[in-house]
Amino acid sequence: MKSVNPRELAVKILAEVERGSYSNLSLNRHLTTEISREDRALITELVYGVIKHRTRLDYVLSKFSRIGLNKINPIILNSLRVGLYQILFLDKIPDYAAVNESVNIAKLYNNKAAGFVNGVMRNAIRNKDSIDYPDVRDPVRYLTVYYSFPKWMIRRWLDLFGFNFTESLCRAMNEKPRMCVRVNTLKINITDLKMLLDKEGVVYSPGLFLEEALYIDDGPPITELDSFKNGYFQPQDESSMLAARALGAADGETVLDVAAAPGGKTTHLAQLMKNNGRIYAWDIHPHRVELLKETCHRLGVSIVYPEVRDARITDKKQFGKFDRVLVDAPCSGLGVIRRKPDIKWSKKPEDILVLKREQLQIMQVTSQYVKSGGILVYSTCSIEPEENYEVVKEFLKENRDFDLDDIRPYLPEALSTEVEEPYGYIQIYPNVNGIDGFFIARLKRIR
Ligand SMILES: C[S@@+](CC[C@H](N)C(=O)[O-])C[C@H]1O[C@@H](n2cnc3c(N)ncnc32)[C@H](O)[C@@H]1O
């Protein structure tokens, strides 16, 4: 085992993220199996915790620092954030340990910085139960600071959903998401997988909505399990599983998945089709198509034809060729912030309209590949109407040969009863449904 200082490594990763790295990629790069499981878990918790709660941590730090936060060296600032995160959000770490660790990181820098960190942290500990957060009568500032979201997102959600829903949405998006996996019934049945997981020391519970879903509550990191390496399951949220279900593909059919990588839904489709038929799986990014190929290989899926393709470019040879087309469109990802907290800070309001144009363009082009009588499913992991219902509405206005199709028979009962007229789509919210925010629409080519 390699000995590392978890807080120091967390600070280093946070500095990389500030310079533009994605946190999950940076974590994967640093957290090799040479580092103990406990340390890997702590580093992940610290990195995601600081990213999720950054505004609130900075708000508290600025109360106790005589130097403006923008004047503090990034390493020192992140060691303060990591220390304060432990004090405010983690019960198991004693306050003095959090202080000492942050001071030690600052010492690597210089003694003056260490004295400064010590002073700020001790001050924060003394006052941690009497911090006055912004008043709720200024809802934008209160929600922005207390739950750490950018102002533009809070303003947008307040306009769309009102205060109570926005607050519960923010709270749900800051929660630690449960790890959900899909049982790969092409290789194993649920009972046998459960027996294997028992042997591997994994604690699990059943899916909230779907029989092929399992929640992993405790145990070794899943990618180290033989049951994962042997392709008996695939990490995937239940929301995402609903999209493949909504397509209703049957074995023997010809299906197109136009934005398919890394292959979560493609391989679920293959499973629902009993690995019989053909699935053409496109993605614009070559490295992601490689990931898709690896996923298919591990899961024993052999009916997928992967290809690097830009779905915005029309290919007349594909017209009317497919029984079903899935457009799991590139989107803002605002529905999955609880899994990818960087999205809070990396997305900008103008991205939403740019994405909407791209989503409509992909729909416009790839819908022509659906056979008459065939099905088109449009999905995103977004909760923003512009990327969801509005895309579908504008698409239908321009394409009279398509209509909404009843999505309810393809959803579990607990969700199908939530679907409102005209019954063609569902919007899922993490605070309402307990799964990732997602939008799924089912359309039929009627001519
Ligand atoms: C939401 S992700 C797809 C997730 C995937 N369906 C799954 O379940 O694993 C969107 C994908 O669209 C791809 N993409 C973005 N623009 C594209 C385009 N113009 N044509 C095809 N793929 C595109 C991205 O590379 C990304 O992999």
pLDDT in tens, 90-128: 998 999 999 999 999 999 888 889 999 999 999 999 999
* Beta carbon of 283 within 6 Å of any ligand 1 atom: yes
pLDDT over 70 percentage in the chain: 100
* Beta carbon of 261 within 6 Å of any ligand 1 atom: yes
* Beta carbon of 284 within 6 Å of any ligand 1 atom: yes
Three-state secondary structure call for residue 29: helix
Architecture category of domain 238-445 in CATH: 3-Layer(aba) Sandwich (3.40)
Q: Mind listing the pLDDT tens digit for each residue in 328-384?
A: 999 999 999 999 999 999 999 999 999 999 999 999 999 999 999 999 999 999 999
Structure tokens at 200: 């591997």
User: For residue 292, which atom of ligand 1 is closest to its CA?
Assistant: 9
Point out the residues that are catalytic: 381
User: For residue 312, which atom of ligand 1 is closest to its CA?
Assistant: 19
User: How close is the Cα of 78 to the center of ligand 1, in Å?
Assistant: 33
User: For residue 326, which atom of ligand 1 is closest to its CA?
Assistant: 6
- Mean pLDDT of all residues belonging to the chain: 96
| Rounded CA separation 417/415 (Å) | 5
Residue 69 has pLDDT above 80, yes or no: yes
ipTM of the complex: 0.99
* Beta carbon of 424 within 6 Å of any ligand 1 atom: no
- The pLDDT, as a whole number, for residue 104 is 93
User: How close is the Cα of 351 to the center of ligand 1, in Å?
Assistant: 16
- The pLDDT, as a whole number, for residue 2 is 77
* Beta carbon of 282 within 6 Å of any ligand 1 atom: yes
Average pLDDT over residues 290-302: 98
Q: Mind listing the pLDDT tens digit for each residue in 330-345?
A: 999 999 999 999 999 9
Confirm if 182 and 212 have CB atoms less than 8 A apart.
Answer: yes
Class of domain 179-225 as given by CATH: alpha beta
Confirm if 223 and 194 have CB atoms less than 8 A apart.
Answer: no
Q: Which of the four pLDDT bands, split at 50, 70 and 90, describes residue 280?
A: very high
Mutate to test the pocket of ligand 1, among 266, 268, 328 (most ligand atoms within 8 A of CB): 328
Q: Which long-range contacts (CB under 8 A, 24 or more apart) does 275-279 make?
A: 275/186, 275/251, 275/300, 275/301, 275/302, 275/303, 276/251, 276/252, 276/303, 277/249, 277/250, 277/251, 277/252, 277/253, 277/303, 278/253, 278/254, 278/303, 278/305, 279/255, 279/303, 279/304, 279/305
Residue 231 has pLDDT above 80, yes or no: yes
User: For residue 263, which atom of ligand 1 is closest to its CA?
Assistant: 9
- The pLDDT, as a whole number, for residue 3 is 82
Angle between helices 163-174 and 151-161 (to 10 degrees): 130
Question: Considering only CA atoms, which residue is closest to atom 27 of ligand 1?
Answer: 261
Task: Please list, in sequence order, all residues whose beta carbon lies within 8 angstroms of the beta carbon of residue 393, skipping any fewer than 6 positions away.
Answer: none
- The pLDDT, as a whole number, for residue 246 is 98
Structure tokens at 29: 């790069």
User: What single-letter DSSP state applies at residue 263?
Assistant: -
What are the boundaries of each domain within the chain? 6-130, 139-174, 179-225, 238-445
Confirm if 435 and 209 have CB atoms less than 8 A apart.
Answer: yes
Residue among 307, 191, 294, 281 at smallest CA distance from 234: 294
Mutate to test the pocket of ligand 1, among 265, 271, 285 (most ligand atoms within 8 A of CB): 285
Dmax (CA) of the chain = 75
Residue among 118, 3, 7, 27 at smallest CA distance from 64: 118
* Beta carbon of 263 within 6 Å of any ligand 1 atom: yes
User: How close is the Cα of 284 to the center of ligand 1, in Å?
Assistant: 7
6-130 belongs to CATH 1.10.940.10: yes
Fold: same for 6-130 and 238-445: no
Average pLDDT over residues 179-186: 98
- The pLDDT, as a whole number, for residue 212 is 96
Residue 387 has pLDDT above 80, yes or no: yes
User: For residue 262, which atom of ligand 1 is closest to its CA?
Assistant: 9
Q: Which of the four pLDDT bands, split at 50, 70 and 90, describes residue 76?
A: very high
User: For residue 240, which atom of ligand 1 is closest to its CA?
Assistant: 8
172 is in an annotated binding site: no
User: How close is the Cα of 328 to the center of ligand 1, in Å?
Assistant: 7
124 is in an annotated binding site: no
User: How close is the Cα of 365 to the center of ligand 1, in Å?
Assistant: 15
Three-state secondary structure call for residue 329: coil
264 is in an annotated binding site: yes
Average pLDDT over residues 5-26: 93
pLDDT over 90 percentage in the chain: 96
Structure tokens at 199: 């042997």
* Beta carbon of 306 within 6 Å of any ligand 1 atom: no
91 is in an annotated binding site: no
* Beta carbon of 340 within 6 Å of any ligand 1 atom: no
Residue among 442, 429, 432 at smallest CA distance from 384: 429
Task: Please list, in sequence order, all residues whose beta carbon lies within 8 angstroms of the beta carbon of residue 89, skipping any fewer than 6 positions away.
Answer: 49, 53
- The pLDDT, as a whole number, for residue 309 is 98
| Rounded CA separation 325/379 (Å) | 11
- The pLDDT, as a whole number, for residue 163 is 98
Residue 189 has pLDDT above 90, yes or no: yes
220 is in an annotated binding site: no
263 is in an annotated binding site: yes
Residue written as token pair 């998401």: 177
Question: Considering only CA atoms, which residue is closest to atom 10 of ligand 1?
Answer: 330
User: How close is the Cα of 377 to the center of ligand 1, in Å?
Assistant: 14
Residue 159 has pLDDT above 90, yes or no: yes
Q: Tell the burial category of 101 from Cβ atoms under 10 Å away from its Cβ (0-12, 13-18, 19+).
A: buried
Confirm if 51 and 13 have CB atoms less than 8 A apart.
Answer: no
